[in-house]
């Protein structure tokens, strides 16, 4: 994936959005595009959308279906990834360990060596959402050595945290070629 200009610089960045089914990836994708809320159905396969903004390298957002039977094909989307966005459902405490295990599987793929990632603790507006700090504590930060990464709270439903998420995404994208800016 990815195209280069004549000086070998990337002209767009490939952003892969993964996470368990119902984490809110598709809702997030269309929110980032600036659409009003869309009703989603479970994604079979993927959705792909360009995201352009003045003064920034265009992003190509790949939203990959997260149902159990689809996860075996996640690896097929990883080649050429510039940044991974991994979406967690903050209200789904029971499946947090499963979500982390699937993330670790993705990160262990050879195509993911040195690829930065953004963890999004989605659905934060929900009354039963685990707070960001709690999620952070449960993740086991030492697991993620070798990658630049950040974690942010957001709600694809209300839009809360999405401008910040986009900002982090862009800065992580730069860290892919220039090393971690923050950790």
Ligand X SMILES: Nc1nc2c(ncn2[C@@H]2O[C@H](COP(=O)(O)OP(=O)(O)OP(=O)(O)O)[C@@H](O)[C@H]2O)c(=O)[nH]1
> Which residues are known catalytic residues?
67
CB of 120 to ligand X, least distance (A): 9
The answer to the question of residue 123 lying near ligand X (CB under 6 A) is yes
Q: Which residues contact 128 (CB under 8 A, 6 or more apart)?
A: 91
Torsion of CA 105, 131, 60, 145, to 10 degrees: -40
CB of 179 to ligand X, least distance (A): 31
- Give the full edge-to-edge strand order of the sheet including 59-64: 46-51, 59-64, 13-18, 83-89, 117-122, 149-153
CB of 130 to Mg ion, least distance (A): 21
The answer to the question of residue 160 lying near Mg ion (CB under 5 A) is no
Q: Between residue 81 and residue 110, which ones bind ligand X under the rule CB under 6 A?
A: none
Q: What does the block give as tokens for 96?
A: 């947090």
Pick from 14, 22, 26, 155: which binds Mg ion (CB under 5 A)?
A: 26
104: DSSP letter:
H
Q: Which residues contact 22 (CB under 8 A, 6 or more apart)?
A: 42, 66, 89, 92
Interacting partner of 12 out of ligand X, Mg ion, none (Cβ under 5 to 8 A depending on kind): none
Residue of closest CB approach to ligand X: 24
Pick from 14, 81, 122, 168: which binds ligand X (CB under 6 A)?
A: 122
Stretch that binds Mg ion, among 1-9, 10-18, 21-29, 149-157 (CB under 5 A): 21-29
Q: What does the block give as tokens for 75?
A: 């690896």
The answer to the question of residue 126 lying near ligand X (CB under 6 A) is yes
d(CA 101, CA 108): 11
Q: Between residue 36 and residue 55, which ones bind ligand X under the rule CB under 6 A?
A: 40, 42-43
Write the binding mask 139 to 178 for ligand X: x where contact by CB under 6 A, - elsewhere: ----------------xxx---------------------
Task: Tell whether 10 is in a known binding site.
Answer: no
Read out DSSP for 128-169?
TPPPHHHHHHHH-GGGGTTS-EEEEE--TTT-TTHHHHHHHH
Interface contacts to ligand X, rule CB under 6 A: 19, 21-27, 40, 42-43, 65-67, 122-123, 125-126, 155-157
């Amino acid at each position: 994936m990815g195209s280069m200009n004549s000086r070998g610089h990337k002209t767009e960045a490939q952003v892969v959005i993964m996470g368990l089914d119902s984490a809110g990836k598709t809702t997030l994708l269309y929110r980032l595009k600036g659409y009003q809320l869309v009703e989603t159905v479970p994604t079979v396969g993927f959705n792909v959308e360009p995201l352009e903004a003045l003064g920034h390298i265009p992003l190509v957002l790949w939203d990959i279906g997260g149902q159990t039977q689809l996860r075996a094909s996640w690896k097929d989307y990883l080649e050429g990834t510039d940044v991974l966005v991994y979406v967690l459902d903050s209200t789904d405490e029971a499946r947090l360990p499963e979500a982390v295990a699937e993330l670790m599987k993705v990160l262990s793929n050879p195509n993911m060596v040195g690829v930065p990632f953004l963890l999004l603790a989605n659905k934060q507006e929900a009354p039963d959402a685990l707070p960001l700090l709690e999620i952070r504590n449960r993740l086991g930060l030492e697991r993620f050595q070798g990658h630049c990464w950040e974690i942010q709270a957001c709600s694809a439903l209300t839009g809360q945290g999405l401008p910040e998420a986009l900002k982090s995404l862009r800065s992580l994208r730069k860290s892919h070629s220039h090393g971690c800016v923050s950790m």
